[in-house]
Amino acid sequence: MFTYNKRMLFLKLFSAVFLCFMFSSCVTSKNPLCDKKNSVLDSGLIGVWQGESEQVIISQAEGQLLFTEKDTNEKVKQKYTGYTAQIKSDNFLIIQGYENTAKDEYVFVHYVLSGNNVLTVYALNTEFFINAVEKQLIKGEIIKNKDWDKGVQLTDTTENMFEFLNKIDKKYYLKNEPGIYKKIVNENVKS
């Protein structure tokens, strides 16, 4: 039987593996989901967010969001930039410089801000986009990578991707398992 300390260690390790899988998105794009100049800052994102095994500091500078991820020891894991977009009434982050993506690649995640200072983040469903590319519903390339078995890089235009996602219910193109973060500081913080 697990003791409390062993159970907590197991949960932390499981969370770390889950979050790595969840957010090392296998869907990247050569083009953004919307033009940065059409983005509107969602001030509710600004602050310090605590997840299971990481802390994410979101600040604003020069019209974009700056993200700093720290591990449980307060060590910076990575930094990346982004901005927001909206499809129907759904909010998205358009992120650049995330993990193993090239500087000219984008990652899109859907997010929901709850009134109780909870940020829920959904990655894109890789299998859905692989199928869409195979059926030529959207332009892209199916790729293999050392970090995942199969992924997809979308190569369609910003306008076509936006129109494509605007026609489809998000339950099909988002992963079911969200990342959940609780806001612990509610202001623009330097990372």
Q: Give Cα 184 distance to the centre of its chain.
A: 20
Q: pTM of this prediction? A: 0.80
* pLDDT (tens digit per residue) in 157-173: 999 999 999 999 999 99
Is residue 3 scored above 50 in pLDDT? Answer: no
Is residue 45 scored above 90 in pLDDT? Answer: yes
What is the overall mean pLDDT for the chain? 84
Confidence of residue 152 (pLDDT cuts 50, 70, 90): very high
